[in-house]
Amino acid sequence: MKKIEGFESEKIIVLPAYQLEQIVAHPLNRMLYLTDIGFYPRARYHYRERPNGCDTYILIYCAEGEGRVSIGGVLHVLKERQLIVIPARTPHSYWTETEHPWTIYWFHFKGEQAEGYSALLKGGAGPLTLGSQDSEKFIALFHQCYDLLSGSAHSASHQVYAMQTAAYAISSLGMIPEREDEDRKKQYIETAIHLMNMKLEESLTLDEIAQYTQISRQHLNHLFKTSVGFAPVDYYLRLKMRRASQLLDLTPMSIKEICHTLGFKDPYYFSRLFRKIIGLSPTDYRNKLKG
């Protein structure tokens, strides 16, 4: 069986030509605007085929179940929490699995910058997987667009709000690869800092830190300088001096004892380094009133 539309509890809005003319007439909507928007829950036997494509870009987000999307003859599996964009004027078809029918949120969009928005989501290249937070955010923005268009589609301000919300939804999803890259960088840095804190009473080399984080020395150095502002070993020394400050504040340990406790052999070098980083000699720091 093949079924194009008509699903229990579905939601769908197809904006008529006169409303699209109103929407496009507003300069804020020309960059990107929706033409159709819908929600198909558990859409068993859902099927759509357009051998010649259509003049809009199509975004499909699968919240549950599974389906297939063919774009220009290339078949993609669309699974739970995955999103795909079908480029305009591209032959395509899509359908759901009968055993696990998909629940999809979808909309068609056009505009002067529609191609650029499509590229943010790898339009035509395959599915983009969303995390739980991104999924919840997209669904909330989808409902916001739908409610704006279903309630007051004739209102120019509501039209602008709906289209700007759709643009924001696409833009925020387009940042997922960058956020994932930032998360990986953050994880490397946090792993390195964890090692430094464990080894404050010892001495670490750049090679040892890089080996622990499992990236190259050059990459680790670059990550620290761009994200933290210091090279890894410089940051490690600052952690040591912060610990030295705490020991000076909270214990009666001598400067020599603190020096050896933190893995330094030469008290004079320790004192010079402390002054360079903290701005005071260890003695002056201890004598300074605090609080």
Q: Is the dihedral of CA 151, 22, 157, 36 positive or negative?
A: positive
Task: Please report the pLDDT score of residue 291 as a whole number.
Answer: 67
Average pLDDT over residues 101-116: 96
Q: What gap in Å lies between CA 165 and CA 248, rounded to an integer?
A: 55
| Residue 133 and residue 15 share a domain | yes
Checking if the pLDDT of 178 tops 70, the result is no
Task: Identify whether residues 170 and 189 lie together within a single domain.
Answer: no
In a domain, 6, yes or no: no
Work out the pLDDT band at 5, boundaries 50, 70, 90: low
Q: Are 103 and 25 found together in one domain?
A: yes
Closest CA to 48 of 230, 40, 144: 40
* Strand ranges (E), the chain: 11-14, 33-40, 47-50, 57-64, 67-71, 74-78, 82-86, 92-96, 103-110, 128-129
Residue 224 buriedness (CB in 10 A; 0-12 / 13-18 / 19+): buried
Q: What mean pLDDT, rounded, does the chain reach?
A: 91
Closest C-alpha to 114, from 89, 138, 94, 136: 89
Q: Is residue 27 part of a domain?
A: yes
Q: Are residues 165 and 225 in the same domain?
A: no
- Residue type (1 letter), 92: H
At residue 244, the pLDDT reads 96
Our CA angle for 107, 110, 115, nearest 5°, is 105
**Do 49 and 145 lie in a common domain?**
yes
- 96 lies in some domain: yes
- pLDDT beyond 70 at 6: no
One domain, residues 169 and 192: no
Last residue of a domain, one of 143, 174, 205: 174
Tell me the pLDDT tens digit for each residue of 216-237.
999 999 999 988 999 999 999 9
Return the CATH number at 187.
1.10.10.60
Q: Are residues 52 and 151 in the same domain?
A: yes
- Same domain, yes or no: 165 and 202: no
| Dihedral sign for Cα atoms in the order 118, 119, 123, 124 | positive
Band (pLDDT 50/70/90 cuts) for residue 179 is low
Rounded Cα distance between 130 and 133, Å, is 8
37 lies in some domain: yes
pLDDT the model gives residue 3: 58
The tens digit of pLDDT for each residue in 18-70 reads 999 999 999 999 999 999 999 999 998 899 999 999 999 999 999 999 999 99
For residues 249 and 144, membership in a common domain is answered with: no
Same domain membership, residue 124 and residue 240: no
Give yes or no for a contact between 78 and 58, defined as CB atoms under 8 angstroms apart. no
- The proportion of the chain whose per-residue pLDDT surpasses 90, expressed as a percent, equals 78
The answer on 188 and 169 residing in a single domain is no
pLDDT at 182 over 80: no
Q: How far apart are CA 128 and CA 101, in angstroms?
A: 19
Please tell me the predicted confidence (pLDDT) of residue 54: 95
Q: Is the pLDDT of residue 181 over 80?
A: no
pLDDT in tens, 250-281: 999 999 999 999 999 999 999 999 999 999 99
Q: Which of 20, 13, 14 is nearest to 154 (CA)?
A: 20
2 lies in some domain = no
In a domain, 4, yes or no: no
**Nearest CA among 236, 235, 8, 240 for reference residue 103:** 8
Number of domains in the chain: 2
Could you give phi then psi for residue 197, rounded to 5 degrees? -65, -35
101 and 188 in a common domain: no
The domain boundary, picked from 122, 149, 174, lies at 174
From 152, 174, 196, give the residue that closes a domain: 174
206: its two tokens: 């750049």
Domain that holds residue 167: 11-174
Residue with tokens 């999924």: 135
**Cα angle for residues 134, 137, 140 (degrees, 5° grid):** 150
What integer pLDDT is reported at residue 222 of this predicted model? 92
The answer to whether residue 3 sits within a structural domain is: no
- Give Cα 121 distance to the centre of its chain: 12
Q: How far is CA 232 from CA 8, 11, 151, in A?
A: 58, 54, 56
Residue 221 domain-assigned? yes
Four-CA torsion 258, 259, 262, 266, nearest 10 degrees: -170
Question: Can you give the CATH number for the domain in which 75 is found?
Answer: 2.60.120.280
